[in-house]
C-alpha cells in the first residue's frame, strides 16, 4: 500500500504536491510560480493551472454536486469508467491520464 505522507489521511492530493513544490528549497524542483506565471505561458494554461489548484475545474463530480448533471447521469470518469471523475482522478490517477503523462515524460 502506498501512503502519501504529507496528508494526515495518506490520500494523495494534487494541491498538496504543488504546495510542497512551491515551498521546496530543492534546486531540482523548478520555481513553479516563475514557470507557470510568466509572459511565455499562454493565459489559458495559467488559468487552467489556477483552477486546478483551487479544485474548480468543472469535472463530473463538481457538476453533480452543483446539480448541473441530470440525477440519472453517471459521475464516473468518461475515460476509464472505473472511478468518480474528480480533479485529482482526472489529472493524475486515471489510467488514461497516466498514459499521457508517461508519454510526455518518457516514463
Name the 3-class secondary structure at 68: coil
The sign of the CA dihedral 15, 19, 22, 27 is negative
20-72: per-residue pLDDT in tens? Answer: 666 665 555 556 566 556 666 677 877 888 888 778 888 888 888 888 888 88
Residue 21 bridge partners (DSSP): none
Q: What angle do CA 87, 23, 14 make, to 5 degrees?
A: 10
What is the DSSP annotation of 38-86?
STTS-HHHHHHHHHHHTT-S--HHHHHHTT-S-TTS--B-TTTSSSB--
What's the confidence (pLDDT) of residue 2?
Answer: 58
pTM of the model: 0.56
Amino acid at each position: 500500500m502506498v501512503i502519501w505522507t504529507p496528508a494526515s489521511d495518506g490520500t494523495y492530493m494534487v494541491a498538496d504536491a504543488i504546495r510542497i513544490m512551491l515551498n521546496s528549497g530543492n534546486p531540482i524542483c523548478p520555481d513553479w510560480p516563475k514557470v507557470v506565471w510568466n509572459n511565455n505561458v499562454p493565459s489559458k494554461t495559467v488559468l487552467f493551472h489556477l483552477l486546478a489548484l483551487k479544485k474548480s475545474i468543472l469535472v463530473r463530480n463538481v457538476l453533480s454536486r452543483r446539480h448541473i448533471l441530470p440525477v440519472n447521469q453517471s459521475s464516473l470518469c468518461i475515460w476509464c469508467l472505473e472511478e468518480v471523475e474528480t480533479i485529482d482522478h482526472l489529472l493524475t490517477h486515471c489510467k488514461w491520464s497516466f498514459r499521457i503523462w508517461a508519454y510526455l515524460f518518457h516514463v
